[in-house]
Amino acid sequence: MSGAVVLAETGAALAAVAGGAAYTRAKAPSVFWSAVGLPVTAARFSATYGSTMDACGLTVAPSRLRVLVTRATTRREIRPVPPRIRRIRPTTTGLRVRLRLAPGQEPADVAASAERLRHAWGVHSVHVAEIKPGVVELRMTGFDVLRRVRMPRRVPTGELVVPVAMREDGTAFVRDYRAVPHAMTLGAPGSGKSVFVRNLVTGLAALRVAIVGIDCKRGVEQAPFAPRLSALATDRDMARDLLDVLVAELEERYDLIRDYQGVPRTVTDEEITSDIWGLPAELRPVPLVLVVDEVAELFLVATRKEEERRDHMVTQLIRLAQLGRAAGIFLEVCGQRFGSELGRGATMLRAQLTGRIVHRVNDKPTAEMGLGDISPEAVLASTQIAPEMPGVAVAGDTSGGWSRIRTPHLSLAQAAAVCWQTAHLVPDLPALDQFRPYVPPVVVIPPKPSAPPRFAPNPATE
Ligand SMILES: Nc1ncnc2c1ncn2[C@@H]1O[C@H](COP(=O)(O)OP(=O)(O)OP(=O)(O)O)[C@@H](O)[C@H]1O
């Protein structure tokens, strides 16, 4: 190793200890992009737009009127016409260009040329998104935005919308529970599932929602979220009781909808089409998100009695997944694998989970469990995630769309701090009181002038 490299590494390590280098390096790609990359790319794009589109076969013959006008007014050669540029918007990660497609063109034509456009304009990637019929957006990124994730400043918002990760096109990946009520997250050990859940829980923590956890790994993953959890089950017996209470809550919510609408009790829950959002705000029950860590733990059986318990829990989970959306009860199920080998009901439960997030997996069959019914390209993309990029995942939903995403790194301590700070937002749900995790009383450490307040739990003295 040369002396210069040693010096550079030592300097970087020292600065990192001081807390400065990490920040500077994290900012570097977007700062470099804004200062240098953006003006160069914008100039290259403007100067070569017509010829590049022509070379990529994305132009059409000009209309007769255009030919006549050009001939009558200029001596210019009559050239084929590229899609008209509607808008150009620079961002901190790239450049977004909206195009009105020419007659006869479709978004797939532009998407097929994305790789050629990327090389022509010298950017890291070009993604094509359909905005509305006839209008597409070219999302160019100037650098690999997944290498050091910084969430975009503008993120979609909503009553049940949680920005969780960054997409490779520079936009935010959100969990929108009203659009995709249930989801599953798969990944090999160390692939980034826990960090994904931390981002999700801290996002949910700020919303008006009850968060319920099942973590049969004795709560090691979810216990730090305790101050913001309405309920936590840390073993299979507790999980069974908690699922029973959740199904009872679901049925109560259906009764509420039925009573409000005057629907007779003879109509089954499955036939009620409306949901809690049709109720007036003062009657509407609080939405509830159930986060299941390592679903395989629920399916494990050693004896016949445990088999009965497993079957019962799976049935309850399937019921929650089938009927939960209308009652405002949503599922987030995580695991290393989610196949038929888990036992009876596993594939049926999986089929109810529309959102699919697959981190690095060890084999193709596992990727197929999550993404097989979405697209073969998504399966391939998930098998190509590098081990040195934990947190990268392929996210899709059963509508067929998918993209590569990565969560911002969030430590357990940071996630726990957010849960402490939002503990007052835990909604009142008396049915879940018996499952409320023990939370040690808070000691508020008086803030230094100019420092933000910090919270720390008392040592547990139960
Ligand atoms: N988005 C990310 N950015 C950077 N590092 C990450 C990211 N996600 C995870 N990591 C790192 O990868 C390692 C494993 O992550 P994590 O604990 O989330 O994996 P996991 O899939 O939950 O593993 P297990 O199943 O063993 O619990 C951790 O050291 C974590 O800091």
Model confidence at 400: pLDDT above 70: no
pLDDT band of residue 258 (cuts 50, 70, 90) is confident
Give the Cα separation of 334 and 246 in Å (integer).
Answer: 19
The neighbouring-strand residues paired with 137 are 98, 129
Give the Cα separation of 240 and 313 in Å (integer).
Answer: 6
Burial per residue of 146-166, b for 16 or more beta-carbon CB atoms within 10 angstroms, e otherwise = bebbeeeeebeeeebbbbbbb
Max mean pLDDT among 196-210, 213-227, 438-452 falls in: 196-210
Distance from the alpha carbon of residue 316 to the mean position of ligand 1, in angstroms: 30
Instruction: Name the least confident of 69-73, 202-206, 343-347.
Output: 69-73
Q: Among candidates 173, 190, 96, which has minimal Cα distance to 403?
A: 173
Q: How far is CA 271 from the centre of its chain?
A: 31
190 touches ligand 1 (CB under 6 Å): yes
Q: Among candidates 215, 217, 200, which has minimal Cα distance to 293?
A: 215
Model confidence at 19: pLDDT above 70: no
Per the annotation, does 104 bind a ligand?
A: no
| 304, 309, 310, 311 alpha-carbon torsion, rounded to 10° | 90
Distance from the alpha carbon of residue 385 to the mean position of ligand 1, in angstroms: 13
Residue 78 vs residue 162, higher pLDDT = 162
pLDDT band of residue 353 (cuts 50, 70, 90) is very high
Model confidence at 239: pLDDT above 80: yes
Q: Among candidates 293, 327, 98, 124, which has minimal Cα distance to 212?
A: 293
Distance from the alpha carbon of residue 192 to the mean position of ligand 1, in angstroms: 3
- The tens digit of pLDDT for each residue in 273-300 reads 688 888 888 889 999 999 999 888 888 8
Residue of the nearest CA to atom 30 in ligand 1? 192
- The tens digit of pLDDT for each residue in 91-115 reads 888 899 999 998 888 999 999 999 9
- ipTM of predicted complex: 0.96
245 to 312, 353, 356, 434: CA distances (angstroms): 13, 21, 27, 10
Distance from the alpha carbon of residue 314 to the mean position of ligand 1, in angstroms: 28
Q: Among candidates 388, 324, 48, which has minimal Cα distance to 177?
A: 324
Give the Cα separation of 269 and 279 in Å (integer).
Answer: 16
11 touches ligand 1 (CB under 6 Å): no
Per the annotation, does 401 bind a ligand?
A: no
Q: Given this model, what pLDDT does residue 195 score? A: 95
What is the atom index within ligand 1 of the atom nearest the CA of 408?
1
Distance from the alpha carbon of residue 375 to the mean position of ligand 1, in angstroms: 26
Q: Given this model, what pLDDT does residue 399 score? A: 63
Per the annotation, does 191 bind a ligand?
A: yes
195 touches ligand 1 (CB under 6 Å): yes
193 touches ligand 1 (CB under 6 Å): yes
387 touches ligand 1 (CB under 6 Å): no
Q: How far is CA 227 from the centre of its chain?
A: 23
Residue 74 vs residue 131, higher pLDDT = 131
Distance from the alpha carbon of residue 196 to the mean position of ligand 1, in angstroms: 8
Distance from the alpha carbon of residue 356 to the mean position of ligand 1, in angstroms: 18
pLDDT band of residue 28 (cuts 50, 70, 90) is low
pLDDT band of residue 26 (cuts 50, 70, 90) is very low
Model confidence at 363: pLDDT above 90: no
Distance from the alpha carbon of residue 274 to the mean position of ligand 1, in angstroms: 39
Residue of the nearest CA to atom 11 in ligand 1? 390
**One-letter amino acid for residue 199 of the chain:** N
Domain extents in the chain: 27-141, 161-457
The angle formed by the CA atoms of residues 377, 201 and 141, to the nearest 5 degrees, is 45
Distance from the alpha carbon of residue 407 to the mean position of ligand 1, in angstroms: 10
199 touches ligand 1 (CB under 6 Å): no
Model confidence at 9: pLDDT above 80: no
Q: Given this model, what pLDDT does residue 1 score? A: 36
198 touches ligand 1 (CB under 6 Å): no
Q: What's the per-residue H, E or C state across the chain?
A: CCHHHHHHHHHHHHHHHCCHHHHHHHHHHHHHHHHHHHHHHHHHHHHHHHHHHHHCCCCECCCHHHHHHHHHHCCCCCCCECCEEEEEEECCCEEEEEEECCCCCCHHHHHHCHHHHHHHHCCCEEEEEEEECCEEEEEEECCCCCCCCCCCCCCCCCCCEEEEEEECCCCEEEEECCCCCCEEEECCCCCCHHHHHHHHHHHHHCCCCEEEEEECCCCCCCHHHHHHEEEEECCHHHHHHHHHHHHHHHHHHHHHHHHHHCCCCCCCHHHCCCCHHHCCCCCCCCCEEEEEECCHHHHCCCCHHHHHHHHHHHHHHHHHHHHHHHHCEEEEEEECCCCHHHCCCHHHHHHCCCEEEEECCCCHHHHHHHHCCCCHHHHHHHHCCCCCCCCEEEEEECCCCEEEEECCCCCHHHHHHHHHHCHHHCCCCHHHHHHCCCCCCEEEECCCCCCCCEEEECCCCC
Model confidence at 462: pLDDT above 60: no
Residue 112 vs residue 442, higher pLDDT = 112
Residue range 27-38: average pLDDT? Answer: 70
Residue of the nearest CA to atom 1 in ligand 1? 391
Residue range 322-346: average pLDDT? Answer: 88
Whole-number average pLDDT of the chain: 84
Q: Given this model, what pLDDT does residue 457 score? A: 52
390 touches ligand 1 (CB under 6 Å): yes
Q: Given this model, what pLDDT does residue 18 score? A: 35
284 touches ligand 1 (CB under 6 Å): no
pLDDT band of residue 440 (cuts 50, 70, 90) is confident
Model confidence at 31: pLDDT above 80: no
Give the Cα separation of 195 and 216 in Å (integer).
Answer: 18
95: its two tokens: 């450049």
Per the annotation, does 372 bind a ligand?
A: no
Model confidence at 10: pLDDT above 60: no
pLDDT band of residue 174 (cuts 50, 70, 90) is very high
- Largest interatomic CA distance in the chain: 91
Tell which one of 168, 191, 388 to mutate to probe ligand 1, the residue whose CB is within 8 A of the most ligand atoms. Answer: 191
Q: Regarding the domain delimited by 27-141, which CATH topology (the fold level of the hierarchy) does it fall under?
A: Threonyl-tRNA Synthetase; Chain A, domain 2 (3.30.980)
Give the Cα separation of 307 and 320 in Å (integer).
Answer: 20
Residue of the nearest CA to atom 7 in ligand 1? 391
pLDDT band of residue 213 (cuts 50, 70, 90) is very high
133 touches ligand 1 (CB under 6 Å): no
Q: Regarding the domain delimited by 161-457, which CATH topology (the fold level of the hierarchy) does it fall under?
A: Rossmann fold (3.40.50)
Burial per residue of 105-121, b for 16 or more beta-carbon CB atoms within 10 angstroms, e otherwise = bebebbbebbeebbebb
Model confidence at 170: pLDDT above 80: yes
What is the atom index within ligand 1 of the atom nearest the CA of 198?
18
Per the annotation, does 190 bind a ligand?
A: yes
Residues above pLDDT 70, as percent of the chain: 86
Residue range 397-407: average pLDDT? Answer: 81
Tell which one of 168, 191, 195, 201 to mutate to probe ligand 1, the residue whose CB is within 8 A of the most ligand atoms. Answer: 195
Residue range 170-174: average pLDDT? Answer: 91
